[in-house]
Chains A and B, each alone.
Chain A
Amino acid sequence: MIPEIGHFALILALIVALIQGVFPIIGAARGNAVWMGLAQPAARAQFLLVAVAFICLAYAFATMDYSVTYVASNSNSKLPLQYRIAAVWGGHEGSLLLWAVILSVWTVAVSFFSKHLPSAMRARILGVMGLISVGFLLFMLSVSNPFERLIPAAMDGRDLNPLLQDPGMVFHPPMLYMGYVGFSVAFAFAIAALLGGELDSAWARWSRPWTTLAWVFLTIGIMAGSNWAYYELGWGGWWFWDAVENASFMPWLVGTALMHSLAVTEKRGSFKAWTVLLAICAFSLSLLGTFLVRSGVLTSVHAFATDPRRGLFILAFLVLVIGGSLLLFAWRAPTVGRGGKFGVVSRESFLLANNVLLAVAAISVLFGTLYPLFLDALGLGKISVGPPYFDTVFAPLMAPALFLMGVGPIARWKQATLPELAMRLRWAFGISVATAVILPLLLGHWTPMIGLGLFLAFWIFATTANLVYQRLRGADQPLIARIKSNSYSWWGMVIAHLGIAVFTLGVTVVKGFESEIAVRMAPGDVAHLAGFNFTFEGVTEIEGPNYSASRGHIRITKNGIERTLINPEKRVYHVQNMPMTEAGISPSVIHDLYASLGEPLDGGAWSVRIYHKPMVEWVWFGCLMMAFGGLLAISDRRYRLKGRTKPLPENATEIST
């Protein structure tokens, strides 16, 4: 009964989404206030209905209702409760439902926090989001129904893929989807602006916090996924340039460009058409990411059973959304008008360069990800491009972007002068060059890549320090007052940029100084790596809730002093009889000591992989700093809602960020 309620709620949600998608947009075009007014109640009703459907599915998982096909294929009675709930989005159908739920959450949030928008604008935004929802609900109801019954019911479920039985599964997909789907708000704002022909700095100010929030979620989602892969796969890697990772990284790159372009549109009124194009691209890439991951076209854990009808539906949907919005863009973009002029050397052009670099980086990832698929689909052979391609392309594209990051925030809007900038940044430049040369020599190993990475990281540190120093200089007020006199969004930028520096430092050090060995270890054997002694003390057999595991004990000492004990595991999950590696990690600020068990060999010996990962935690900490910077920027005073205040006229604000 409960699954039928869920199914019915989805059908009702589709009808409501159609109302939400059609009437408000037509109403806005014709000035019909009643039709426009339908958008808000429809958005809220749709949210309730989709939420009911989601709760019904979660209930079916919690109560182990194996008469539902989807539950039977993704859960098992031995699965702990938290993973039974996470299993709701462990497969194709459920993850689409999660997508729809999150879309309705964003929509309802827009319906509540858009009282200050002109009513036609609000109606169009909610209408566009309703149309996206129609696509997803129609998809689920026609070819991908999570509530489909299994007759006769299964005795027990086939279990969640053991790779997904991890706390990461509880956080990573919802966070990532919050980011993906969050770009639908920026997209809806852009389409609404094209439809209405109103694209001014007020428009940019309204869409900025939404875009930044989506970006924050996406950043955390990608970070969580990377961290999960690091400890779960047992290979010590934190980024594999896997197609699934790329699918989430492309919207991130374009979303980052969009945030910066929106800043220019808000402050200077420039880049209007470009901003709109980026908003369309960011969401299109999110959709493409969903398609790539969820359609089974990729060789990956994330790919589920292949069904050509599904592929065709998503492809048609993609063509409709991307093609339609690009057509609308081509038709309407000339009407949005030109922005302010700016000099060749100005903050605008630095931001433009950063935007172009990010966009080209996204295109290079897109090319590397899709081209092999195209060749394969056309029957022209199977090829693959691995990490070497992405590494080769990324360093030269990101290096200038990171360099410009140090200059951009310091340069004046409209017109800056190179000699002045050079004068101001000469110390920052000197310090970062010196660090890049001296630091690796102290650590005993210098390569051009290490030098470049360290230079860029310290360049961002030093230029940001210079920026903060200039802003806080002067003794007319106490320091606290001087700190407070700068806006939250400015501090958000500072912290996010420092996050990039921390990230760059982490990546450079771990890539440049990491070491690993693979050895055969019998109990009592000692392996040496990076000055540490790893003593293998054998394994003990343990029983988990739904798996058996061999638990290794590795004692780590340095110069005779005991440091820590790590316990890598080799698990075998009972239901699918699938082996899984669980790495043993001792994390710290300076380095991670990491070991994973390979296979059991004769005489109680095991093949063991041991890694020394200097400063790898900085990679994820840098991401957290970026996300925190984003949150700080959103909490800026000028985005706070003050009831039904009137929208400000164009260029009314000249806040110095």
Chain B
Amino acid sequence: MTIKARHKRFILIAIGLALLGLAVMLILNAFKSNMVFFYTPTQVVSGEVPHGTSFRLGGLVVPASLKRQDDGLTVHFSITDTAKTVEVIYKGILPDLFKEGKGVVAQGKVGANGVFEASEVLAKHDENYMPPEAAEALKRAKEAPADVQLK
């Protein structure tokens, strides 16, 4: 192999590595800024959620908590993990399987008045199925409260 060819190969590898590094940085950066954490109603009530961040809230829809505003699209309901309850406001159409007393996961932020402003509401996919986040919230609430605080 001539020196020239070796140089070429070296340049090729160097460019490749630089681009790869750039790509990795891009991926990690995008990941960090788009990561959404999950919290339970108990954690929200105890103020564990950093202010102004978007997160996922899971639990059961409190029976008879669903209220519809006059525009027909803005809804209020509450999510509970059986220990604590968080009020939710959502403007939009609820998914097919949204039902009072059933599991639900909502994504959004806590507003100024302490109400969770959901930008997205996800419900379970069939009758027997509970979203893992909702199941987790109930499980954690059943465990000792001290345990919940540790997390």
Contacts and interface: CB of A to CB of B under 8 A. Distances in A.
Given A397-B23, A578-B126, A384 B38 contact: yes
B44 interface: no
A344 B7 CA distance: 10
Given A383-B37, A577-B127, A520 B73 contact: yes
Contacts of A385: 31, 34-36
A234 B97 CA distance: 13
A388 B34 contact: yes
Interface in A332-383: 341, 343-344, 349, 356, 360, 363-364, 367-368, 371, 376, 381-383
Given A382-B136, A576-B127, A393 B36 contact: no
Contacts, number: 100
A154 interface: no
Contact of A605 (B12, B72, B107): B72
B45 interface: no
A161 B124 CA distance: 13
Contacts of A392: 26, 30, 33-34
A356 B21 CA distance: 12
A414 to B, nearest CB: 12
Contacts of B8: 343-344
A518 B73 contact: yes
A150 B131 CA distance: 28
A581 B26 contact: no
B49 interface: no
Contacts of A393: 26-27, 30
B127 to A, nearest CB: 5
A319 to B, nearest CB: 24
Contacts of A383: 35-38
A349 B12 contact: yes
A576 B5 contact: no
Contacts of A119: none
A263 to B, nearest CB: 19
Interface string A198-235: 00000000000000000000000000000000000010
A396 B38 contact: no
Interface string B8-23: 1001100010011001
Given A163-B125, A382-B136, A518 B36 contact: no
A386 interface: yes
A240 to B, nearest CB: 11
A601 B37 contact: no
B141 to A, nearest CB: 15
B27 A364 contact: yes
A397 B151 CA distance: 36
Given A385-B31, A518-B73, A299 B126 contact: no
B26 to A, nearest CB: 6
Interface in B122-136: 125-127, 131-133, 136
Nearest to A356: B16
Nearest to A396: B26
Nearest to B27: A364
B127 A578 contact: yes
A171 B107 CA distance: 33
A439 to B, nearest CB: 28
Contacts of A581: 96
Contact of B37 (A161, A381, A579, A598): A381
6 contacts: A382-B132, A384-B35, A388-B34, A520-B71, A599-B94, A607-B93
Given A344-B8, A367-B31, A381-B151, 10 more contacts: A300-B125, A344-B11, A363-B27, A384-B38, A392-B33, A397-B23, A518-B92, A580-B96, A599-B93, A607-B72
3 residue pairs, one from A and one from B, having the closest CB atoms: A520-B72, A598-B93, A382-B38
